[in-house]
Structure 1
């Protein structure tokens, strides 16, 4: 079960397990939390014996007359983990008001996720959409062909539009653009639009060095930011799923670097 709203509708007590303090090494950071019901789980506090212990304690709390407990757990050989740190967990049976607060926080988190526009729903585009689905991004598969979007993985956000360039123009600053359409001319148009924005975290275009050279001779804009070929470090297996894995790694690294630059700029602005 992955959807928070669906999880919170369970007709059984739900316990929030939250990391409230960390000393030394820990598998998750302060504030990380999971939700525990008798028959389901949502989220994680890091896995391993720490999580097993937390789940057992949370379910025991849900069956008791108490509403909260606290756990202090050393992450050492005594529980079969070797992080070497110490964590404090706060456990609390949540009520309707806390459920509403969790849903509002999740909506805000989702709204703040960086956008990844996958322009083209062919084999590569669909493999990319599938690979991005579990990651902390808002991936949108864009195509003008409804019949191709129909083959997209279940649950992937899709947009069928005859004017994908308008979708590109409406994206937020710091988005990633992966251009992999069915036509080189459309690839060139969309890539040029993405580069012209000047605020992209990543602009990639499917193709070879030859295709890049043709694009550079066609466009009048700067091309330094363009990644083409994508997944250039990978050699050998060219199946869409393999290519997608390498492209996703490139994109996630660029998104992280972009956010780090924004954070540094914000700190300088406050100084």
Structure 2
């Protein structure tokens, strides 16, 4: 799944201008969270703010804005009940911003920075940076304080007329080792899920010409070296063409013991053999219990590459959602609120 900023930059290579639709605030039950994005051009759209009538109305509104001028902006509430026929019942506040490739913030924004949007469209979105005097002069003092200390991904300052958003990549790093039939089927699914995929093999020209552009491919002689370089909490899926290579990668991941998940393709027999060999190499039994093998959900039993890939993708989705739910529960406990994210289109 591409980061919305990368999607925006790609769309602006094809179109003179587009409309960036952002969920700025949610109240009650809504199909997407604050910070969800959709990019609308004259002939199409990328991303989603939840589907259903909300999305259809937003696309129509965005297309109208495209003809209203280069800096057209709109901030509007959308009740999802009787007005739109969606049973969520909540309210989504959407920010529509006309964006051109020449707008400075499009190229200036990067991971960790904060962007500031004017709800009235008095100026284009800005990248907050205390070192940039021109931006300092554009923003009220109260907005600058919040921008410099923002702790949440988004912050709506409705009374002041500004929407603040931290540029961050919330995808989980996922390292996929091996480029065989299952991996080829799997990678096309993973790119549509909340994972930042690094695809690794020791053979050149193995990834194919149709490899998704958002996947980082690595040809590495000793694939276990990538395990040592992976960030804390990364997911690791091991499915190379060689059991010996699988063992070396698995040993490296377990020895580091910094992973969020590790799964190795194979049978119960392969797992038992790996456990004996890894234990003999000094991997503690407690750590070995974190090894997932066979991988995938048990309800999908087919052995075709596409079936195995679907099973694994389902397991990855379940794990990601568990992490997201735990994070939401932590946030809700901190601020005393309770929220629910219904399925798209509800």
TM-score scaled by length of structure 1: 0.84
The answer to whether residue 299 in structure 2 is matched with residue 234 in structure 1 is yes
Deviates more, 1:47-56 or 1:149-158: 149-158
Are the counterparts in 1 of residues 202 and 222 from structure 2 also a CA contact under 8 Å? yes
Deviates more, 1:115-124 or 1:69-78: 69-78
CA distance in 2, matches of 1:147, 1:54: 42
Q: Which contiguous aligned blocks of 4+ residues in structure 1 show a shift greater than 4 angstroms?
A: 105-108, 255-266
The answer to whether residue 276 in structure 2 is matched with residue 211 in structure 1 is no
SS in 2 for 1:142: strand
Task: List aligned pairs for 1:76-115, cutoff 5 A.
Answer: 76-94=81-99, 96-100=103-107, 104=110, 109-110=168-169, 113-115=171-173
CA distance in 2, matches of 1:161, 1:22: 45
1:175, distance to aligned residue in structure 2 (A): 0.8
User: What are the ranges of 5 or more consecutive residues in structure 1 without an aligned counterpart?
Assistant: 267-271
CA distance in 2, matches of 1:259, 1:16: 25
> 1:5 maps to which residue?
9
User: What are the ranges of 5 or more consecutive residues in structure 2 without an aligned counterpart?
Assistant: 114-166, 332-346
Deviations 1:8-31 (A, max 9, x none): 234433222222332221111223
Give the one of 98, 116, 119 matched to 2:174.
Answer: 116
CA distance in 2, matches of 1:29, 1:76: 17
Deviations 1:95-127 (A, max 9, x none): 5034335x53599534x5322111111112222
TM-score scaled by length of structure 2: 0.67
> Aligned pair count?
266
Are the counterparts in 1 of residues 191 and 212 from structure 2 also a CA contact under 8 Å? no
CA RMSD of aligned residues (A): 3.1
More helix by share: 1
Are the counterparts in 2 of residues 201 and 254 from structure 1 also a CA contact under 8 Å? no
Are the counterparts in 1 of residues 300 and 307 from structure 2 also a CA contact under 8 Å? no
